[in-house]
């Protein structure tokens, strides 16, 4: 959900106003995913690197995420959305925010519609490090380490690898998002800043995805 800050600054607004505008895009995209039958949507809400931002913006983002959960979880629940989180639950994440996350997971856990995974205090390298730590602590011998084993120790082993990754706002980087999981994902970069990304932009992205030829390292027709 990149480009909130720049979108706001370009309009003479505070960066934090950009994040507020981003909430609208998020819900439009959730609704559109639901409508077209996308089963899993994962959004990058706060990275392990975002702590480096000015203190005021970090404080705003923590409060904003918490507040958004409280204000909108009932609506997500009514939409049959199952909410989950991936990321490190370390000392930097306020306990009250963790409590709101857990309440939201619990409220929506039996929903059968879209799974909305919120990557919070998430880093792709951190996720791999955390998986390796768990594996080593379990005493698995080196020769038993496989890709499947690592996959089972990621933050949410039930999350399928993404088919499509969309990065908004004209940046052509992965920026530590789902590094393990996106090995064969289609990547789509758009100049549209997140606050202007909505239903229509998602449909354009999905149409482009449908035109891609996915071979997963094989050849066409190779089964």
Q: Do 88 and 130 meet the contact criterion of CB atoms below 8 Å apart? A: yes
Q: Does 82 bind ligand FPP (CB under 6 A)?
A: no
Q: Pick the closer one to ligand FPP by CB: 55 or 144.
A: 55
50 flagged as catalytic: yes
Q: Describe the crossing of helices 15-36 and 199-210 by its angle, rounded to 10 degrees.
A: 50
Report the C-alpha gap between 208 and 187 in whole angstroms: 10
| Among residues 4, 48, 108, 121, the one that binds ligand FPP under rule CB under 6 A | 4
Q: Does 48 bind ligand FPP (CB under 6 A)?
A: no
Report the C-alpha gap between 130 and 155 in whole angstroms: 8
| Among residues 29, 30, 41, 68, the one that binds ligand FPP under rule CB under 6 A | 68
Q: Do 197 and 29 meet the contact criterion of CB atoms below 8 Å apart? A: yes
Site map (CB under 6 A) of ligand FPP, residues 93-132, x = contact: -------------------------x--------------
Measured in degrees and rounded to the nearest 5, phi and psi for residue 187 equal: -110, 135
| Among residues 34, 50, 159, 188, the one that binds ligand FPP under rule CB under 6 A | 50
Report the C-alpha gap between 1 and 115 in whole angstroms: 17
Residue sitting closest to ligand FPP (CB):
5
Both structure tokens of 121: 């205090």
Of 17, 34, 50, 130, which one is the catalytic site residue?
50
Q: How far is the CB of 109 from ligand FPP (least distance, A)?
A: 17
Q: Does 181 bind ligand FPP (CB under 6 A)?
A: no
Q: How far is the CB of 65 from ligand FPP (least distance, A)?
A: 4
Q: Does 198 bind ligand FPP (CB under 6 A)?
A: no
Stretch that binds ligand FPP, among 64-72, 137-145, 197-205, 209-217 (CB under 6 A): 64-72
Q: Which residues have a catalytic role annotated?
A: 2, 50
Contacting residues toward ligand FPP, per CB under 6 A: 1-6, 19, 22-23, 26, 43, 45, 50, 61, 65, 68-69, 118, 169
């Amino acid at each position: 959900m990149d480009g909130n800050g720049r979108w706001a600054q370009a309009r003479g607004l505070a960066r934090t106003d950009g994040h507020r505008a981003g909430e609208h895009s998020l819900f439009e995209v959730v609704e559109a995913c639901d409508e077209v039958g996308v089963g899993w949507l994962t959004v990058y809400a706060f990275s392990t690197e975002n702590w480096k931002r000015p203190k005021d913006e970090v404080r705003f983002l923590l409060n904003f995420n918490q507040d958004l959960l409280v204000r909108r979880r009932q609506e997500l629940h009514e939409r049959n959305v199952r909410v989950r989180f991936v990321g490190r639950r370390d000392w930097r994440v306020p306990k009250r925010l963790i409590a709101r996350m857990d309440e939201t997971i619990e409220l929506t856990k039996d929903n059968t519609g879209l799974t909305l995974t919120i990557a919070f205090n998430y880093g792709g390298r951190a996720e791999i490090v955390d998986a390796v730590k768990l594996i080593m602590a379990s005493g698995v011998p080196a020769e038993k380490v496989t890709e499947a084993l690592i996959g089972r120790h990621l933050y949410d082993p039930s999350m399928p690898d993404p088919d499509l990754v969309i990065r908004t706002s004209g940046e052509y980087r992965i920026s530590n998002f789902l590094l393990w999981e996106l090995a064969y994902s289609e990547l789509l970069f758009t100049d549209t800043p997140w606050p202007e990304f909505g239903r229509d932009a998602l449909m354009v992205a999905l149409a482009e995805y449908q035109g891609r030829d996915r071979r997963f390292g094989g050849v066409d027709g190779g089964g």
